[in-house]
Each structure stands twice: as C-alpha cells, then as structure tokens.
C-alpha cells in the first residue's frame, strides 16, 4: 500500500465568461478531445492509483455525461460545482470520504489546464508532504507595472519578485479541510490563498511548466494544440 493516499479534485465548474463561447472552455475540443479529459488522463498517468473527483456545474452535468459517452471515457465521481472556485473546491473536498487517511495528499487542479505534466505533479506531491502545501509556479516573462489607485497611472515593479501560479496545488487533507472550513473571502482566487488565511503560510513553490497553460481565450486552444503537436 502506498505511504500516502492521493485524491485529485479537478475543478471544472466555471462558466468561462472570458472564453466567449456557449460551451465552457473545459469542455471544448483540443486536438479532438475535451480539454478536461486531457487533464484527467495526464493526472492519472502521473499518479496511478489516485482517486479523482471532478466538479461540474449542475447545468453542465448532462453535457459532461454525453461527452463521456461519446468519447468512451469513464468519468471520475462527479460533484456539483458552486458559484465560485472556492465553493467548487469545498464541494469536491466534501466528497472525500470522512474516514480517508488524514495525511492523504489532495491535489487540486484546474480543469482548464489540459497540458499538466508528470514531473510537475511529482514535484508538487513530494513537496506537499512536509510543508503547508506545494504549488507550481513559473517566472514572469513580461515586464510588470503596478496600477495607481486612479487606474490610469502606473509604475514599474521588479518582475523578479513575482511568480505566476499554476495547478495542481497539493496539500495534506487535514490541513486543507481546516482551511476550507473558514468563511469565503473574495481574495480566495486559489487554494494557497485559502491556506494562507488559515495561517498555513509555509506553502512551498515548486518549479512549474510554461506549457501548463490555463485555457482562457480561444487562441489558447491553438497554442495548446501547437504544444501537443510538438510532442509535449
């Protein structure tokens, strides 16, 4: 038996308003297959034996069931999504059995990141064990500026002080459950921000992968297809 049980919560309940399509971006086809199926397959390949859970908006559950049938894909357990990513993660967390080992690793992954890679997942799992959590991050390549309070003026900042954060983010189950028992705050854009608010500030940054993009705009599909066709 593995030393650490692993659960993977794939949050796929966003409406994808920036994507500008009736079909939420996580269900759009990428190289002929829905974006989120790529993510699930890659996560399962990275951590064989992990228990996946997919969080889907109730209004999209039929679409997901139809896609699974069309692609002969066995869906992980499906959990209802919420109005915010935080609520979707909380619902996914509630689906982990109450008697799961408290030191299980929980990976939380954006369903809109189809190109997640095994080395990144392994780095996250390894670093999640002895810390308050582990998140993959990459340097920022663009120059950055901070907007003034008027939203017009701006001043340069040192991009070397910043990292762009990706998923999967990994945490030990008991800490994550405690952090997600707090009331919601608008600043909770990812799991690390929820952990920090609960006092778990020793979240470790591991090397991410620039290919692990989050599909946000339609052009990201073309970029992801180019990455896939180059064999990555």
**Residue ranges in contact with ligand C5P by CB under 6 A:** 11-14, 26, 55, 81-85, 88, 110-112, 214
Q: Pick the closer one to ligand C5P by CB: 59 or 130.
A: 59
Q: Pick the closer one to ligand C5P by CB: 86 or 200.
A: 86
Minimum CB separation of residue 51 from ligand C5P in Å reads: 18
Alpha-carbon span 173 to 200, nearest angstrom? 13
Instruction: Point out the residue whose Cβ comes nearest to ligand C5P.
Output: 14
Q: How many alpha carbons fall within 13 Å on the CB side of residue 91?
A: 21
Alpha-carbon span 104 to 3, nearest angstrom? 9
Q: Which residues pair with 51 in a beta bridge?
A: 7
Q: Pick the closer one to ligand C5P by CB: 126 or 138.
A: 138
Q: Pick the closer one to ligand C5P by CB: 94 or 129.
A: 94
Minimum CB separation of residue 155 from ligand C5P in Å reads: 27
Alpha-carbon span 101 to 99, nearest angstrom? 6
CB 117 within 8 A of CB 212: yes
Q: Pick the closer one to ligand C5P by CB: 14 or 168.
A: 14
CB 143 within 8 A of CB 154: no
Minimum CB separation of residue 85 from ligand C5P in Å reads: 4
Alpha-carbon span 14 to 26, nearest angstrom? 8
Minimum CB separation of residue 136 from ligand C5P in Å reads: 15
**Residues 6+ away with beta carbon under 8 Å from 172:** 102, 103, 104, 105, 106, 128, 129, 133
Minimum CB separation of residue 133 from ligand C5P in Å reads: 17
Minimum CB separation of residue 213 from ligand C5P in Å reads: 11
Q: Pick the closer one to ligand C5P by CB: 11 or 43.
A: 11
Sign of the four-CA dihedral 191, 6, 70, 66: negative
In 10 A of CB 214, how many CB atoms? 17
């Amino acid at each position: 038996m593995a030393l650490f049980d692993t659960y993977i919560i794939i949050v796929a309940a966003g409406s994808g308003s920036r994507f500008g399509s009736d079909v939420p971006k996580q269900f759009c086809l990428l190289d002929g297959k829905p974006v989120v199926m790529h993510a699930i397959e890659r996560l399962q390949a990275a951590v064989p034996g992990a228990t996946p859970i997919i969080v889907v908006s109730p209004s999209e559950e039929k679409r997901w069931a139809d896609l699974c049938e069309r692609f002969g894909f066995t869906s992980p357990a499906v959990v209802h999504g919420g109005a915010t990513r935080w609520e979707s993660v909380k619902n996914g967390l509630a689906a982990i059995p109450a008697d799961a080992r408290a030191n299980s690793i929980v990976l939380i992954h954006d369903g809109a990141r189809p190109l997640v890679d095994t080395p990144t997942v392994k780095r996250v799992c390894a670093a999640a064990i002895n810390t308050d959590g582990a998140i993959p991050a990459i340097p920022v390549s663009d120059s950055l500026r901070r907007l003034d309070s008027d939203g017009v003026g701006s001043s340069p900042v040192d991009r070397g002080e910043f990292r762009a954060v990706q998923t999967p983010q990994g945490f030990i189950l008991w800490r994550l459950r405690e952090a997600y028992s707090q009331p919601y705050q608008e600043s909770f854009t990812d799991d690390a921000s929820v952990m920090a608010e609960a006092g778990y500030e020793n979240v470790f940054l591991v090397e991410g992968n620039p290919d692990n993009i989050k599909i946000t705009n339609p052009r990201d599909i073309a970029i992801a297809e180019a990455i896939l066709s180059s064999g990555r």
